[in-house]
Amino acid sequence: MSERLNELLARLHEVKGEIQDEIEKGREGFHYRIEHGRVRFDSEVRRRHRGLREGWLSFLSRTRFLVVITAPVIYSLIIPFVILDLFVTLYQAICFPVYGIPKVRRRDYIAIDRQHLAYLNGLQKLNCVYCGYGNGLIAFVREVAGRTESYWCPIKHSRRLASTHEHYGSFADYGAAETLREDWEEAREQVQKEK
């Protein structure tokens, strides 16, 4: 991997950390803390939040009819999501130890906590649980797939992609046949050191 690419990847990692720091700073003004894995708001904040909650009938009355009737299509994806979750979890539990790849922790990707917000009605809470699970699951699966690709086929594609996983930058260049074996071993060693 080129020195310039190493520098860019290091900067990207640093910027992602800075983004998370800024998000954390934004949380400070909302008067909550986390105790034993649960979010706790100050009692006055909880009371204000309950007062701001919109009833589900009012919420639905403002929703376009076509949005309401497409809800079953959205929620039907829970079936393939759960099946995907099960298969990917089993896959990494069986195969990653054989490959020497550290397992991906689901809890680092799937966050289901918005249902504790008192200013959301039941329907909004259900939507938030679904989205937290669905998007977290996709991120989890992407990391499992990224680690797998790093082990089995760490070669960049011939064209630019809209988005790539964290490991992609360290892959061998497309067409770099002379250094493939070295690049491949380096990528495998790197993914085996993941946390």
DSSP code for 170: G
Position 52 pLDDT exceeds 90: no
Structural domain contains residue 62: yes
Residues 23-36 pLDDT 10s: 777 677 777 777 88
How far is the C-alpha of 161 from the C-alpha of 120, rounded, in Å? 37
Q: Residue with structure tokens 């909650």?
A: 53
Do the domain assignments include residue 6? no
Residue 26 lies in a domain: no
Is 110 part of a structural domain of the chain?
A: yes
Q: Tens digit of pLDDT for each residue in 75-125? A: 999 999 999 999 999 999 999 999 999 999 999 999 999 998 999 999 999
Q: Residue 169 is part of which domain span? A: 31-192
- The reply to whether 37 falls in a domain is yes
- Count structural domains, the chain: 1
| Rounded Cα gap, residues 162 and 44, in angstroms | 45
Q: How many other C-beta atoms lie within 10 A of the C-beta of residue 81?
A: 16
Q: Is residue 173 part of a domain?
A: yes
Closest by CA to 101, choosing from 16, 8, 172, 188, is: 188
Whole-model pTM: value is 0.85
Q: What is the CA radius of gyration of the chain?
A: 22
Residue 118 forms part of a structural domain: yes
Query: Is 113 inside any structural domain?
Result: yes
Residue 42's pLDDT is 81
